[in-house]
Structure 1
Amino acid sequence: MARAPAFPDPEGYRRRRLMDLARLLPLLGLCLFLLPVLDADDGLGAGLLIYLFAAWFGLIATAALLARRLCAASAPAPDPAKPGAEAGGQEGAE
């Protein structure tokens, strides 16, 4: 009987952790946007607006980085055994 490997595939494990982080990003955004509500005694000042736009920009940048890494992690590697694997799968185009 074949035994399963003791450790999971490192690339698959890393991709799943990135997906988990992407799922938690909206919750992080909610916490960041509701944090100023705890200290809302002085109203809507310039410092609060700067904080909100900085948090918003940080969330956008984090989402872009996660999307780029997830796309790179899920892209299939070219198979060196297939001729024309780098040509985009157009073997009979000539």
Structure 2
Amino acid sequence: MKRPSPPRFLARRSYRRRRLIDAARLLPVLGFILIMVPILWRPGATAAPDTALGGLYLFAVWFGLIGAAFLVARILARGEPDAGDGETERETR
């Protein structure tokens, strides 16, 4: 007798949770890329780099990453998905 095939799709709640975990894992990579952007900037009319603009940009990126991490952590802390949402033990391996 054939084994029943696992469900093709995950439950919506667990799928969204996994994508949110993926987003949390990518935040440091995104942060690194965004922080390295000022290196590529060309100076304006002068030969000296625009330090003030670069500093404002870095602080904006920094606060943005803190805000994004806070939101992701808050959503993930709401709780684990329900056991009855269609996810089986075999799918979590």
Q: TM-score, normalized by length of structure 1? A: 0.71
Matched, 1:24 2:26: yes
**3-state SS in 1 of match to 2:26:** helix
Structure 2 regions of 5+ residues with no counterpart? Answer: 84-93
Q: Which is higher, the Rg of structure 1 or of structure 2?
A: 1
Greater length-normalized contact order (CA 8 Å, ≥ 6 residues apart) = 2
Q: 4+ residue stretches of structure 1 with deviation over 6 A?
A: none
Aligned to 2:71: 65
Closer, same or farther: CA 70–25 of 1 in aligned 2, 3 Å = same
**Deviation of the 1:73 alpha carbon:** 4.3
In the alignment, the residues of structure 1 paired with residue 82 and residue 14 of structure 2 have an alpha-carbon distance, to the nearest angstrom, of 12
**3-state SS in 2 of match to 1:3:** coil
Q: Which amino acid is 1:72 matched to?
A: R
1:8-52 deviations in whole A, cap 9, x for unaligned? 111111111000000000000001100010115432521111111
Structure 1 regions of 5+ residues with no counterpart? Answer: 78-94
Q: Which amino acid is 1:46 matched to?
A: A
Q: TM-score, normalized by length of structure 2? A: 0.72
- More helix per residue: 1
1:50-83 deviations in whole A, cap 9, x for unaligned? 1110000000000000000111142769xxxxxx
Q: Which amino acid is 1:59 matched to?
A: L
Aligned to 1:48: 54
State percent identity of aligned pairs.
45
Aligned residues: 77
Aligned to 2:88: none
